[in-house]
Amino acid sequence: MQLKILQRTPQKLKLEIEGEKHTILNLLESTLLEDENVEFAGYYVPHPLFPNSILLIQTKGGKKPEEALIEALEKMRQKGKALSQEMEKAFKDWEKKKENA
């Protein structure tokens, strides 16, 4: 995955992300929008035959868009870790129930 900054102002960031489409970017967009200092977050795929997407972030309240992006990525990582732990627990519980049946 490669990132290219297309536009950068104190409150706006526009990135081209190579090799990513809806799967990660949809989750990233929704996570960014959970931040009260993110005024706008969205992405689009300019052409379905090319693997690049454009991510747009606009912030307010003095928060830099790259700060919002890094925080959202960390939040996604933590959610993934929590999901992984819950899945492991569920499978262990299922195995125990299966053994006791």
Q: pLDDT tens string for the chain (101 positions)?
A: 899 999 999 999 999 999 888 889 999 999 999 999 999 999 999 988 888 999 999 999 999 999 999 999 999 999 999 999 999 999 999 998 888 87
pTM for this prediction: 0.84
The structural architecture, per CATH, of the domain 2-100 is 2-Layer Sandwich (3.30)
18 beta partners: 2, 52
Q: Which sequence spans correspond to the domains of the chain? A: 2-100
Q: Which residues pair with 12 in a beta bridge?
A: 58
Residue type at position 94: W
CA distance 80 to 49: 29
Q: What secondary structure letter does DSSP report for 48?
A: T
Cα 42 to Cα 57: distance, rounded to the nearest angstrom: 7
